[in-house]
Amino acid sequence: MLVCNVDNIVFRGRGGGSVVLVDSVTRAGGSVIAHRRSSEEPAVGATGPSRSPADRALTRATSRQATPRLAKFHVPEILFGPGSLSEAAHAAVRLGARRPFLVTDPGLCAAGWPNQLCAHLAEAGLRPTVWEGVTPNPKDHEIAAGHVRYLQEGCDVIIALGGGSVIDAAKGVALLAGNGGTILDYEGVDRMGLPIPPMVMVPSTSGTGADVSQFCIVTDTARNTKITILGRALVPDVSIVDPYLLTTMPDWLNAATGLDALTHGIEAYVSRAHNPLTDHHALQAIALVGENLVLTMDHPAEEAPRTCMAQAALEAGLAFTNAILGATHAMSHQVGGLLDLPHGVINGVLLPHVIRFNAAAEPHRFVPIAQALGLPGDIVPDSDAGAVEAAEWTACEVRRLADELGVPKGLGEIGVTDADVPLLATMTLADACLSTNPRGADAADIETLFRAAL
Ligand SMILES: [Fe+2]
């Protein structure tokens, strides 16, 4: 039995009583039960002049809500903008680096970005150890090997330059450097007790949000699943978001990570742990993906859409690391662990089904999401029936976008079989992300969702 306290999602209502929306995740016999001490209060965000679809959606949503509450918001120092890669060396120096450990992967090395970063580090008087032993969906043994290399080289500050897999591997090495043991020891929430080395993250994709998040996702190669490690210590010290780095992504990775960012925004917005600060970033991310992801596929060299997607990924990351996620990610982690497939592609297949499942219990929360994605004027969501229609339009719009990006129609096309479903469902129930899904789900519900997505 494992009991994980999710104590960083605590809110205080106007009446002064502290409430914990999801105060514990109790795992027993492979099941997770999320306990709620109080009913969820409506969120409140800023109102006032607004122009973007996200702002308009947020204003409409919050104008009907009136109960403020306190919210905790974790965020690294962020440097954002074309050319900001050069700031990584200064950031490392400020964090006390003498021997930085640079985590990257062979694809990034071929693109030339690590060499460019090493030149900046050399200018700052730093001689990094470069470790590129990471594969997509980073494996437990890879992180162990990285930790050995980190110790052998006597490194201090950790820098990651890459996508979510590289960044998660870097976090795993940092976690082991500070706490010892094996990475699988830390599955769950806040299980690391000791400080970890400073971290500077430089994302090369527009989707994962790992550069700002308190998540570390690692493949458990013995169980063929992904484990979720969650803890405020994993929030990096500095995130450097340079849209130029996105221009060397292959199209499939751009599509997959963009869909991941969209999923982060939607799951964070409807999460049981959402709050006014996360709502703003979630809707902004959703709108930016809706407006720019396809543009980056059609016009990959154009700077403006790339910069917007970099911002979308960043804001989605800020939203989900504080609001946590939902059933799409809880299910996706299991499929990704079983089949070593791109995380964002799996999300793109699952998300419309999870939207319909959640909206069946509470459709109104999906109205601002629909509006951020450009809900057509002939759908008027000011009634229960209208909200249902808007939520269904959202599910269809996500699928339409996935179709435009070439995402498979179902999990069956990427190798999942009906025989896999019971085990996938059982393992989904043990994923920390399920605890903040807005609608409770048992094994039968999850199996039904997996079969609908086949
Ligand atoms: Fe994700």
- Considering the chain, what percentage of its residues have pLDDT values greater than 70? 85
Q: How far is the CA of 261 from the centre of ligand 1 (A)?
A: 7
Residue 17 pLDDT > 50: no
Q: How far is the CA of 102 from the centre of ligand 1 (A)?
A: 23
Note the pLDDT of residue 26.
28
Q: Which residue has the higher pLDDT, 380 or 196?
A: 196
Residue 96 pLDDT > 70: yes
Mean pLDDT, the chain, integer: 87
**What's the count of helices (H) and strands (E) in the chain, helices before strands?**
15, 14
Q: What is the pLDDT of residues 135-193, one digit of tens each?
A: 998 999 999 999 999 999 999 999 999 999 999 999 999 999 999 999 999 998 899 99
Q: How far is the CA of 341 from the centre of ligand 1 (A)?
A: 13
Q: What is the pLDDT of residues 104-113, one digit of tens each?
A: 999 999 999 9
Distances 211 to 14, 139, 367, 396 between C-alpha atoms, Å? 33, 19, 29, 30
Read off φ and ψ for residue 136, nearest 5 degrees: -55, 145
The confidence band for 65, taking pLDDT boundaries of 50, 70 and 90, is low
- Please give the Cα distance from 276 to 72 (Å, whole number): 10
Q: What is the pLDDT of residues 321-345, one digit of tens each?
A: 999 999 999 999 999 988 878 899 9
Q: How far is the CA of 302 from the centre of ligand 1 (A)?
A: 25
Q: How far is the CA of 260 from the centre of ligand 1 (A)?
A: 5
Q: How far is the CA of 135 from the centre of ligand 1 (A)?
A: 17
Q: How far is the CA of 232 from the centre of ligand 1 (A)?
A: 18
Q: What is the pLDDT of residues 123-132, one digit of tens each?
A: 999 999 999 9
Q: 244: which DSSP letter?
A: G
Instruction: Name the 3-class secondary structure at 20.
Output: strand
Q: How far is the CA of 289 from the centre of ligand 1 (A)?
A: 14
Q: How far is the CA of 219 from the centre of ligand 1 (A)?
A: 14
Note the pLDDT of residue 166.
97
Q: Which two tokens stand for residue 436?
A: 């903040």
Q: How far is the CA of 127 from the centre of ligand 1 (A)?
A: 33
Burial bucket for residue 250 (CB in 10 Å: 0-12, 13-18, 19+): exposed
| Across 195-219, average pLDDT | 95
Q: How far is the CA of 383 from the centre of ligand 1 (A)?
A: 32
Residue 59 pLDDT > 70: no
For the chain, which domains are there?
2-70+252-453 (1.20.1090.10), 77-248 (3.40.50.1970)
Note the pLDDT of residue 72.
80
The answer to whether 283 and 373 have CB atoms below 8 angstroms apart is no
Tokens 């110790």, residue located: 151
- pTM of this structure: 0.85
Tokens 């109960």, residue located: 67
| Across 348-363, average pLDDT | 98
Note the pLDDT of residue 119.
97
